[in-house]
Amino acid sequence: MSQHLSLPKDKIRFLLLEGVHQNAIDTLNAAGYTNIDYRKTALEGEALKEAVKDAHFIGIRSRTQLTEEVFAAANKLIAVGCFCIGTNQVNLNAAMIRGIPVFNAPYSNTRSVAELVLAESILLLRGVPAKSASTHRGGWNKSAVGSFETRGKTLGIVGYGSIGSQLSVLAESMGMHVIYYDAVTKLPMGNARQVGSLDELLANADVVTLHVPDVPSTRNFFAKAQFAKMKEGSIFINAARGTCVVIEDLADAIKSGHIAGAAVDVFPKEPKANGEEFVSPLRGLDNVILTPHVGGSTMEAQANIGLEVAEKFVAYSDKVNFPEIALPLTEGKHRLLHIHKNVPGVLSKINNLFAEHGINISGQSLMTKGDVGYLVMDVDATASQEALDTLHEVEGTIRVRVLF
């Protein structure tokens, strides 16, 4: 079935930042979208506002911050794609009240992160980072003291989601015992066991690894008190979010010898681009593995993410269905999106106004989320302009636009 888009595909502009994978560009081009502004770095401030003002779709990774001010500058914006797991770099409320969906790839790099954490666990239990650093300086410390096998050790996973559960399976295959703590009850994989409290996990785990989202309850989640409750000589790993750990307290726990080693991939403040200096109290500690937020940065993961998010862009632009609202496409119809305050009576007012104007609705679907409601409706193509004008009259209207 042929379909009339609200804009020709060559007029729909994509802004892709932070060097997203070539798969994303290839996928968009194959679908007929060629107006792509591709940049290898993150943007901020006025440069970001200038770049987004003519963009219909924006693709970012983890560095670019889409704030209320950025959304206010992006008058043509239709959708946002986060080419990564999380969306905490996006002001989701600012997107929601404008009817802008935010896509991401929550599962495409889980294997990459899980493999890195397991590898770091092995290296730290053997004391390899400190031995490597000493050898680079000309030292020769051939000793088994402080070196342990992973087999038989207990891995404590904090946050048993898609990454934590996959790590659980990999760790068990290496002969580790797995315990996990989560805010909600989760079905264990293999022989893993959920514990009743974080304190119980910290008291029993030889390796503690974080896999939690960035939400208010997890900010500064691990600090002096939590490190003190960990087993003497245990290992700490954070490949989740930099905001979850008080880095200064971790550094103190390592320097005191209470924690034998750590691996950290994410930080409270990270450089905006390659080449900028990375500053952290963990620098210079031989028994700490520091990586520049590369947990999910494998060629396989980035290729998968590029494909997944770009396909979501294409599906949204081509089929023009708001997420969680699905209507079959109908020949001879135009599809309208009405975003409004979530108050009683809006749908009734719209239906009554359309009836007064003799506008027939052939399909309609409503979704509400928090304080905002999203109404997608199909009307006869010949009546779409009148319908659009009528929707602007409805009290509580936030935004109205023709999808196709």
What distance in Å separates the CA atoms of residue 317 and residue 215, rounded to the nearest whole number? Answer: 30
DSSP symbols for 265-307: ---SS--SSTTSPP--TTTT-TTEEE-SS-TT-SHHHHHHHHH
Q: What is the model's pLDDT at position 4?
A: 41
The CATH class of 1-104+299-319 is alpha beta
In this prediction, the residues of the chain whose per-residue pLDDT falls under 70 are 1-7, 319-330
Q: What is the model's pLDDT at position 328?
A: 64
| Domain ranges (residues) in the chain | 1-104+299-319, 110-286, 323-403
Q: What is the model's pLDDT at position 3?
A: 41
Which CATH superfamily does the domain covering 323-403 fall into? ACT domain (3.30.70.260)
Please compute Rg for the chain using Cα positions: 25
The CATH number of 110-286, from 3.40.50.1970, 3.40.50.720, 3.30.300.30, 3.40.605.10, is 3.40.50.720
Q: Find the catalytic residue in 56, 211, 293, 334.
A: 293
Q: Find the catalytic residue in 63, 111, 241, 334.
A: 241
Q: What single DSSP character describes residue 77? A: -
Q: What is the model's pLDDT at position 5?
A: 47
Q: What is the model's pLDDT at position 327?
A: 61
Q: Is the separation of the CB atoms in 285 and 257 below 8 Å?
A: no
Q: What is the model's pLDDT at position 384?
A: 83
Q: Is the separation of the CB atoms in 198 and 181 below 8 Å?
A: yes
Question: CA 79, 84, 88, 94: dihedral to nearest 10 degrees?
Answer: 0
Q: What is the model's pLDDT at position 321?
A: 46
Same topology, domains 1-104+299-319 and 110-286? Answer is yes
Q: Clarify whether 293 is annotated catalytic.
A: yes
Q: Look at residues 90, 79, 94 and name the one whose alpha carbon lies nearest to residue 28.
A: 79
What distance in Å separates the CA atoms of residue 89 and residue 290, rounded to the nearest whole number? Answer: 22
What distance in Å separates the CA atoms of residue 46 and residue 59, rounded to the nearest whole number? Answer: 18
Angstrom CA distances, 173 to 111, 120, 193, 211, stand at 15, 16, 15, 20
- 279: how many CB neighbours lie within 10 A of its CB? 10
Q: What is the model's pLDDT at position 2?
A: 38
Q: Find the catalytic residue in 270, 311, 386, 399.
A: 270
What distance in Å separates the CA atoms of residue 241 and residue 81, rounded to the nearest whole number? Answer: 19
Q: Clarify whether 283 is annotated catalytic.
A: no
Q: What is the model's pLDDT at position 316?
A: 83
Burial class (CB in 10 A: 0-12, 13-18, 19+), 95: buried
Q: What is the model's pLDDT at position 364?
A: 84
Q: What is the model's pLDDT at position 211?
A: 97
Q: Clarify whether 193 is annotated catalytic.
A: no
